[in-house]
Amino acid sequence: MSENTLSIRIIFGSARDPRFCDVIGKWLLDRLGLLPGIEFAVVDPRELDLPQGHTPDRASVRQLRESLDAADAFIVVTPEYNRSYPGALKVLIDSAYEEWGAKPVAFVSYGGISGGLRAAEQLRPVFAELHAVTIRDVVSFANPWDRVDEAGQFDPGAAAESALKTMMGKLGWWAHALKQARSTTPYKGA
Ligand SMILES: Cc1cc2nc3c(=O)[nH]c(=O)nc-3n(C[C@H](O)[C@H](O)[C@H](O)COP(=O)(O)O)c2cc1C
């Protein structure tokens, strides 16, 4: 991996089975696979068996924290549950602390007419508390299940591709800037 390669963790927000998160996640992963200069991995609360709250000595928590620590940036793929984000996502976020700090977080949200934006907006103060920087530009899908064809293919259209390009441009800028800054001046506070 070159020094300029960005390591991005894709955080899945839903832990239920089945879940639409897999459709959105696949769309995102397919697109990220086409971009140069990044390597990425999924962090899935359904796979991690995380305990409630901050329990640093659990193996699953250590595994999560090591994965987050190695990342330069995060993309949170979140549905909207009751005008907010899922509890499983909050458990995952609360399981780490300084691993989030001085790193950028972008959101891909989905839901009904709100497109999951109420979940994304409520995540901003959570990440502010963790000394993370949230990206202004969001990729948001309103009723994305309407864009799955009979063959199961999800095609959200050109607007989504454009929104992703914008979001990734901003995420990349912050990720490179903060990676450089962390390497010269360790971030204190997180
Ligand atoms: C507990 C629960 C609460 C929900 N509340 C909302 C909501 O407030 N607003 C909304 O747009 N969609 C809401 N939905 C619909 C979800 O956005 C939709 O079911 C989505 O597919 C959930 O993502 P998932 O399948 O990946 O878990 C809710 C779904 C669940 C299960």
Tens-digit pLDDT profile for residues 80-121:
999 999 999 999 999 999 999 999 999 999 999 999 999 999
| pLDDT interval class at 54 (50, 70, 90) | confident
From 34-43, 69-78, 158-167, 181-190, the region with the lowest mean pLDDT: 181-190
Distance 112 CA to ligand 1 centre (A): 7
Looking from the CA of residue 144, the nearest atom of ligand 1 is: 21
74 bridge partner residues: 9, 105
Q: State if residue 166 touches ligand 1 by the CB under 6 angstroms criterion.
A: no
Looking from the CA of residue 24, the nearest atom of ligand 1 is: 26
Pick from 78, 82, 86, 93: nearest CA to 28: 78
Distance 100 CA to ligand 1 centre (A): 26
| 29 against 189, higher pLDDT | 29
Looking from the CA of residue 80, the nearest atom of ligand 1 is: 17
- Whether the CB-CB separation of 110 and 120 falls below 8 Å is answered with no
**What tens digit of pLDDT does each residue of 139-149 get?**
999 999 999 99
- Mean pLDDT, rounded, of the chain: 96
User: Distance between CA atoms of 170 and 45, rounded to whole angstroms?
Assistant: 26
Mean pLDDT of 153-182: 97
| Residue 19, C-beta contacts closer than 8 angstroms, at least 6 positions apart | 46, 79
Distance 188 CA to ligand 1 centre (A): 37
State the number of CA atoms in the 13 A half-sphere of 11 facing the CB.
Answer: 29
Q: What is the pTM of this model?
A: 0.97
Q: State if residue 81 touches ligand 1 by the CB under 6 angstroms criterion.
A: yes
Please give the backbone phi and psi of residue 38, each rounded to the nearest 5 degrees, phi first.
-135, 150
- Whether the CB-CB separation of 131 and 189 falls below 8 Å is answered with yes
What's the pLDDT score for residue 190?
A: 57
CB atoms within 10 A of CB 38: 18
What's the pLDDT score for residue 38?
A: 96
| pLDDT interval class at 189 (50, 70, 90) | confident
Strand pairing of 104-111 and 133-134? parallel
Considering Cα of 89, then 91, then 95, then 97, what sign does the dihedral take? positive
Pick from 50, 41, 114, 33: nearest CA to 75: 41
Q: State if residue 14 touches ligand 1 by the CB under 6 angstroms criterion.
A: yes
Q: State if residue 16 touches ligand 1 by the CB under 6 angstroms criterion.
A: yes
Considering Cα of 16, then 32, then 143, then 107, what sign does the dihedral take? positive
Measured between alpha carbons, how far is residue 147 from residues 2, 4, 111, 139, 150 in Å?
37, 36, 13, 15, 10
- Token pair 């992703």 is found at 164
